[in-house]
Structures are given as structure tokens and as C-alpha cells.
Amino acid sequence: MIKVVLLNAYRRSNAGDGLLVDEAAALAREAFGDVDLTLVSMAPDGFSEYPRGLHPISGAGGAITRTGLIARALTGRAHRDVMRAVAEADVALGVGGGYLRAATISGALKSYLSHVVQVPKTASSTPHVYLPQSIGPLPPAPFRRIARRLNNAQAVFVRDDRSLAELQAVGVEAKRMPDLAVLSMASSPPAPRQGTGPVGLVARALSGPDRGYRSRIIKLHDLLQSEVLVQSSGRGNDDPSFYRSLGWNRQHRPLLAALDGADAPSVVVSVRLHGSLQSILAGVPSVHLSYERKGWGAYEDLGLGEFVHHAWTFDPDLVAEQVRRLNADATPFWNSVAASVPRLSAARRLLVEDLRRIGPRTP
């Protein structure tokens, strides 16, 4: 049995992060067959289907205080159990997602606590592969030096062109590859369906100056008479808290529950990328309001560039008009997705081939 460590996982309470963990595990099984998985997650207890779970700082399952995180990281007592698990593994896979993002001081601290301690400082005897990431923006010197440690990995895949260019600028070799959720459409193309429910809206709090974002979201909600849905809940990434700040005080269904229901949304507008991608996977067209580079990369890979907008500056009237068009006839949308499947299939085959080449030989 092949021993695999999945690094850099976040929380199951964020459905998008849970999806990426599941897709990383599926890729490991596709590449290596029967695998023994250890998951390194900021909330390992939330991933009950992965019984071998470790916290990246404490090395144990369960919660740990922010003060404890900082103390362990700064005193060098970080994740000894995790490092032992990596050393004993046949291959370490970095779960796809946002990585080494440090545009602000708080972002740099979060990256240090959750990610940097997992970057191999030297070439490891355990092969490291970083599944498709959005890496950056990188701040000056310290993080740029840390980013260069990625050259100790056997492969680094990024899911957007900006991350590729930024890593190349600091001397890190990387390959462009679609997001894991996008790649999943190669093996399971979406089956379009006509939802009978109202338009779904998934929003979230954004860091930095508001720039009219909140007022635009409220206007869009009013224009669409949308049902507000939750994709992430819990400390530090809680959609319901943001909704309450906008005066939307009712209980809101989780997005996945809405997509699985008999009254699924007819269209979903989502500020969260994986809210949009999970909607598309469920056969529901989605317009994405992107706050990061990853959104443009994913929608371009699907041939859906016209349906992604900048979250801070989007035009609510234009987005509402796109939703009305999709409600009237989503055929062009689905034709674009279908046309992307051959490219995605080829990309997935290359990724699996690279994993097999880098990782241990399978029986």
C-alpha cells in the first residue's frame, strides 16, 4: 500500500476546501491505486472520512488556540508528528488551493502559520508535489526566499497565469494546470438540468477596502430576488456572519443542500470560486464574481471568460442580465463547458502521469 500525506488542507466547513481535499485524494488513488492517506489540516476533526488527521502546527488532531499556534511556530516546535509522517510517506501531495498569499501583514502571518511550516526546507527523501495552486502575491524578501524552497519539491502546479509568472520571477519552476475541481469535469462532465428554484447567491466578506462591494451585492440580490446560500461557515471564514452584517438575518441553506434539492437554483451567482464550480458540477450554470486570480484561471479553462467579473467592481445590472439570459437559454454556456472537456482530459492525464513518474512505483 502506498503511503500518501496530503498537506495544506483547510476545513471541511468550507465546502470548496473540502472538495479540493476529496479531489486530491481521488487523484492519489487514480495515480497510485490503494493508498494509506494521512491528512494535514487546520481542522482535521472535520474530515471524519480521513481518520489519519494531523494539525500542521500541533501535530495532533483537534483545535489549537491562535496563541498556541504562534508560540509553537516561533519557537521552532512546529508539527514534529507531521514531519515524521512526511518522512515515513512514499509521497507528499499539497492539496490544491490558495498558497503563500501574503499581500497584507495578516495574510503573511496566516501563510506562515498554516503553509510555510510545511514547505520542505531542503530536498526531501519523500517526493513533494504541489497540486494546482494559486501562489502569491508574494511580498518582499522574506517570503520570496521562502517561496524558492518550492524548488525542493519535485513538481509545482499552478492554476493561473499570474501565479506562474510570479514564481518564474523568483526562480521557481512551475507548470500551469487547471484547478482540481475543473479537472474533475474531465472524468465526470456536468449533466445540465433546469433548476426550479430561485437564483442562488453565494457571497462572502472580502478583505481590504470595501470599494462599493457591499452595496453592489445588496443591489444584485434585490435585482435577482435571489436565495442567499452558504458555502463556508465557522471561525474566520463565515458566510452567515457576513450576511447578518448586510441585514440578511434569516437562516440560509447550504449551497450543496440547495443543489441536491428538488428545488435547485436555476442559476448561481457566487463570489466563492468553488461555489461556482460546485454549481457547474451539479449541472447548474453559474456566474462568478472573483476576488482573486484563481477565478479567471478556472473560468478561462472552462471557456467561460465572459461569465467571470471582478468582485469589487462588477456591474450588478450586467450580471443580472447574464443571469436572465442563462435562465432563458443556457445552451451556449454548456456548449463552452463541453468544448473544454477534451483539453481537461488531456491535462488530467498529464498530471496523473507526472504523479506516477515522481511517486513510488505501483505494483
Q: Specify whether 241 is located in the same domain as 164.
A: no
| Eight-state DSSP code of residue 361 | P
Q: Specify whether 108 is located in the same domain as 247.
A: no
Q: Specify whether 266 is located in the same domain as 327.
A: yes
Tell me: pLDDT of 66 over 70. no
Q: Specify whether 272 is located in the same domain as 171.
A: no
Q: Specify whether 109 is located in the same domain as 217.
A: no
Residue 359 lies in a domain: no
Q: Specify whether 173 is located in the same domain as 217.
A: no
Residue 221 lies in a domain: yes
Residue 352 lies in a domain: no
Would you state the pLDDT for residue 118? 65
Would you state the pLDDT for residue 262? 87
Residue 363 lies in a domain: no
Cell 516546535 appears where? 77
Please check whether residue 360 is in contact with residue 91, taking contact to mean a CB–CB distance below 8 angstroms: yes
Domain of 111 in residue numbering reads as 2-177
Residue 116 lies in a domain: yes
Would you state the pLDDT for residue 270? 98
Tens of pLDDT, residue by residue over 83-124, are: 888 889 999 999 988 777 665 666 666 666 666 666 666 677
Q: What is the CATH number of the domain that holds 19?
A: 3.40.50
How many of the other CB atoms lie within 10 Å of CB of 148? Answer: 14
SS3 labels along 182-227: HHHHHHCCCCCCCCCECCEEECCCCCCCCCCHHHHHHHHHHHHCCE
Domain boundary among 177, 201, 221: 177
Tell me: pLDDT of 295 over 70. yes
Please check whether residue 355 is in contact with residue 29, taking contact to mean a CB–CB distance below 8 angstroms: no
Letter for the amino acid at 84?
R
Q: Specify whether 73 is located in the same domain as 207.
A: no
Task: List, in sequence order, every residue forming a beta bridge with 5; answer none if it has no partner.
Answer: 38, 92
Its pTM stands at: 0.89
Q: Specify whether 163 is located in the same domain as 221.
A: no
Q: Quick one: average pLDDT of 138-158?
A: 80
Query: What is the count of structural domains for the chain?
Result: 2
